[in-house]
Every structure is written in C-alpha cells, then in structure tokens.
C-alpha cells in the first residue's frame, strides 16, 4: 500500500500541481470515513498517515483498567504500558488499533476519494488563477460543443464556456481550433469555476485595441465608446490626451497594420475609427462620415438627433440595412433619425416623413399619426393650430376624448420643444 500510495502522491504532486500535504489530508479524510463506517458506535478511530513513510495507522482512545470488560473502550494496564510506559489506571490514552482488513478497504476506497478531493483542489486552484482575470483576452482550443455552446480548453486545466449569445453569428468553430476570447465573468460554482467567454462582447474589441495600440495602453489615448454588431461592423470612438498624437491615425497604424491586425482577429469585421467629441453634432458628423450631412437638429428632452442629407447621401448615411445609423445611435446614446432633404422628396416621401415625425410623439403613435397627416395635420404646429372640433370633423372614427388626448399630446411636445429653443 505504501508504494502504491507513494506513486499516487508523487504523480498528483508532479503532474497535477497539487501540494503533497493537500493530497495526504485528502487520503486521511477518506480513510477516516472508512474507519467510521466500519466501526460504527463500537470504537472511534483516529486515522494518521506518516508524512515521511506514508505508513497508515489507526488509533483508539481507551481507558486504562485492571480488567477489561469492553475491548472497544478499555485497555489493560499491562497493554497500555507496552504502548506508553507512563500510563496510569483510569487514564485515557491512545492505543494503535489498526483493523486487520483496513489496508484492503483503504486501497479500494482511497483512490476514489483521493481523485474527488484532487478534483476539488484543482477546481479551487483554477478559480484562484482566473478569479481576477475578468476583462482579459485568453487563448484556448475548442474542446466540444454542447448544443450551441462552445466549450474551450484553457491553461491550468480550466474550461471556459462561450454560449450562443456570446458567439459571433458569422463565425463557425471546429474541435481543436485555437481561438481567442474575452473573459466576461468568473464565478465559483459547486460543480467548479464557471468561466464565461465571449467573442461578440464590445469590450473584446476594446481589449484588442488596447493590446495593439500602445498609445491606448499607456494612457496617451482613450477609447470613449464602442458600438458593435458582432461579425459585421464596429464603431470605436477615440480621443487623444496629447495634441501631438492623432487618435485616428494611431489606431490605424503605419500602412494600416494596427487596425488590419484587429480586423484579421475579428475575421473581417469592419472597423470605423471615430474621433470623439463632447459636442453631439460634431460626434454625429464624425460617426456618419464619409456621408455629407446637410443639417443636424438636436432635441435634448427626447435625446433625438435629426439629420438631413441630400438624396444621393441617404443610403451612405443610413448604411446597409440601417447599420450605420444604428451604430451611431449606440455610440452616442441618442436616437438618430436620418432623412432626406424635403426639397428632394416627392409627395409620398413627404407624407411618410410627416407621419414618422408625428408618430414619435408620446401619446400619438403610428396609427393616429397617419390619420392626422391624411386629414391635413402635417406637424405639431398644425395640430396645435386646430380646435378639438376641427379634429372631430375631419378625422373619421374619433371620439371627443381621443381628439382631446391627441391635442394634449401635441401641446406637450410643442411646449417641450419651445422650452428648449428659449433656453
């Protein structure tokens, strides 16, 4: 048993990185459980493993008596003095009481418990290694798939999971493939540490820029905001704290190598590098570039930016499937409404634009906006200029209460806008 036990301890210590003392304590605990189960209430044994020789012994605490009536709790004076020459009557002493079949039972059960304890120790080690690494980028190999979740082998025997929502929709992975991912969180679960990974998180792009652009990592520049549609396009707003450093140029790098390296890691995802500005109009202009904007109107109460462009710039400003406008909205935290200059609109486009503006007003909505426009009320001012009776006369299927509610909604919106202008 000693040689076998020694081999197990040395292997676990050398290959699995678990300390010798942790392993021995795990074995002692396993054997203590065995002893308790086998002796029951008859005799309580204390199991001890010699740290050097790995000899296993069990000790029972017994009372020293002249004549033994209960061999489980009593020991004769003569036997006690063979173990301890100073033993006295009525004294409680420990006597070695290793069961004859203890070695066989220990050999059968110790391995299972040892492995369980070792796994627990390994899980604890993994959590200690990764608990402070949230926000870092790590590299691992795809191990397996659990439905749409990707399980990734990492350093120190750790496993990370990348659920469907953290995957990039345009990417496919294969078992054994090496990939990089962003650590979203590390949680200590009963089954082991849960390391949540992501390749779709906006901060994955942030960390890639910090690793690639030294001016960001040393604080000369700062990323002020990131808007991302993973796999398709990202907008990264940057600012320089040194007037001698161009933030956009630094991110692009010589011959575009810095941003190319990031795009390569993101498998071709487009990156727009935007110069940050505290002025919303300037920031919107920078974010929608290279589209040329004609006018920009700011509505502070509703946090809405209305952008007007010439007809030939509309598709460029909005972007494919509205992507450019959506990302700009995410980047600045305001709603961005891009529309064609009214001078370039035909009748149907003007009607649609009027409906869209009225529908944005809280309390009106799409259905009533369309009815108002087709009844001749094309703006807030138009509704405000009307009487309740006018609304009842020209709009079909409207009650006095509904007419009053529409007029009140227009008045509220008009007051909010007028208040902004006077300020």
Other C-beta atoms within 10 Å of 35: how many? 22
Using the predicted structure, report yes or no on whether residue 157 has a pLDDT greater than 50.
yes
What is the pLDDT at residue 422? 37
Q: Find the mean pLDDT for residues 63-78.
A: 87
User: Which pLDDT band, with edges at 50, 70 and 90, does 106 fall under?
Assistant: low
Residue 119 contacts residue 95 (beta carbons within 8 Å): no
| Single pTM value for the model | 0.63
> SS3 sequence, the chain?
CHHHHHHHHHHHHHHCCCCHHHHHHHHHHHHHHHHHHHHCCCCCEEEEECCCCCCEEEEEEEEEECCCCCCCCEEEHHHHHHHCCCCCCCCEEEEECCCCCHHHHHHHHHHHHHHHHHHHHHHHHHHHHHCCCCCCEEEEEEEEEECCEEEEECHHHCEEEECHHHCCCCCCCCCCCEEEEEEEEEEEECCEEEEEEECCCHHHHHHHHHHHCHHHHCCCEEEEEEEEECCCEEEEEEEECCCCCCHHHHHHCHHHHHHHHHHHHCCCCEEEEEECCCCHHHHHHHHHCCCCCCEEEEECCCCEEEEEECHHHHHHHHCHHHHHHHHHHHHHCCEEEEEECHHHCCHHHHHHHHHHHHHCCCCCHHHHHHHHHHCCCCCHHHHHHCCHHHHHHHCCCCCHHHHHHHHHHHHHHHHHHHHHHHC
Dihedral (CA of 142, 146, 149, 155) sign: negative
Q: What is the mean pLDDT of residues 121-129?
A: 82
Q: For residue 128, which of 159, 156, 154, 152 has the smallest C-alpha distance?
A: 156
Mean pLDDT of 11-24: 76
Answer for the pair 224, 276: CB distance below 8 angstroms, yes or no.
Answer: yes
Identify the top-confidence range among 103-107, 305-309, 384-388. 305-309
Average pLDDT, the chain: 85
Stretch 168-183: mean pLDDT: 94
Give the highest mean pLDDT range of 47-51, 225-229, 393-397, 399-403: 225-229
Contact 387, 393 (CB under 8 A): no
Rounded Cα distance between 265 and 206, Å, is 13
Rounded distance between C-alpha atoms, residue 421 and residue 305, angstroms: 15
Mean pLDDT on 365-388:
82
- Residue 208 is predicted with a pLDDT of 96
Residue 24 CA to residue 36 CA, distance in Å, equals 18
Which tokens is 257 given?
């190598």
Peptide linkage before 290 cis (omega within 30 of 0): yes
CA distance 213 to 180: 18
Residues 247-303 have pLDDT tens digits of: 999 999 999 999 999 999 999 999 999 999 999 999 999 999 899 998 999 988 888
Q: 168 falls in which pLDDT band (50, 70, 90)?
A: very high
Average pLDDT value for residue range 66-94: 87
**What distance in Å separates the CA atoms of residue 325 and residue 305, rounded to the nearest whole number?**
11
Percent of the chain with pLDDT over 90: 38
How would residue 2 be classed by pLDDT, with cut points 50, 70 and 90? low
Residue 242's pLDDT is what? 94
Please give the domain boundaries of the chain with CATH numbers for all domains: 2-128 (3.30.1480.10), 138-200 (2.40.50.140), 217-276 (3.30.300.20), 277-344 (3.30.300.20), 345-422 (1.10.150.20)
């Amino acid at each position: 048993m000693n040689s076998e036990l020694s081999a197990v301890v040395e292997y676990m210590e050398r290959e699995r990185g678990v300390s010798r003392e942790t392993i021995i304590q795990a074995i002692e605990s396993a054997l203590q459980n065995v002893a308790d189960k086998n002796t029951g209430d008859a005799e309580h044994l204390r199991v001890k493993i010699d740290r050097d020789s790995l000899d296993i012994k069990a000790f029972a605490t017994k009372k020293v008596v002249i004549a033994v009536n209960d061999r489980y709790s009593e020991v004769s004076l003569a036997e006690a003095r063979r173990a301890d020459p100073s033993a006295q009557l009525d004294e409680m002493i420990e006597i070695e009481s290793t069961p004859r079949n203890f070695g066989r039972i220990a050999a059968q059960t110790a391995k299972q418990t040892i492995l369980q304890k070792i796994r627990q120790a390994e899980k604890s080690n993994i959590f200690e290694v990764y608990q402070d690494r949230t926000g870092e980028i790590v590299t691992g190999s795809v191990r397996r798939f659990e439905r749409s979740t990707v399980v990734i082998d990492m350093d120190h025997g750790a496993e990370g999971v990348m659920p469907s929502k953290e995957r990039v929709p345009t990417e496919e992975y294969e078992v054994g493939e090496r990939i990089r991912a962003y650590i979203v969180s590390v949680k200590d679960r009963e089954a082991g540490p849960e390391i949540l990974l992501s390749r779709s998180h906006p901060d994955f792009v942030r960390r890639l820029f910090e690793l690639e652009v030294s001016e960001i990592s040393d604080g000369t520049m700062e990323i002020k905001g990131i808007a991302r549609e993973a796999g398709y396009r990202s907008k990264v707003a940057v600012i320089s704290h040194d007037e001698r450093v161009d933030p956009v140029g630094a991110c692009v790098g010589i011959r575009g190598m810095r941003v190319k390296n990031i795009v390569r890691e993101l498998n071709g995802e487009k990156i727009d590098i935007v110069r940050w500005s505290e002025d919303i109009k300037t920031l919107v202009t920078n974010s929608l570039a290279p589209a040329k904007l004609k006018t920009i109107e700011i509505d502070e109460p509703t946090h809405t930016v209305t952008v007007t462009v010439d007809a030939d710039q509309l598709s460029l400003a909005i972007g494919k499937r509205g992507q450019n406008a959506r990302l700009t909205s995410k980047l600045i935290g305001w709603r961005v409404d891009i529309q064609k200059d009214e001078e370039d609109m035909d009748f149907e486009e003007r009607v649609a634009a009027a409906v869209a503006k009225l529908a944005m007003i809280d309390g009106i909505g799409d259905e009533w906006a369309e009815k108002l426009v087709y009844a001749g009320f094309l703006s807030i001012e138009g509704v405000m200029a009307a009487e309740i009776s006018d609304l009842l006369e020209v709009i079909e299927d409207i009650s006095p209460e509904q007419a009053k509610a529409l007029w009140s909604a227009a008045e509220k919106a008009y007051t909010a806008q007028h208040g902004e202008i006077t300020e």
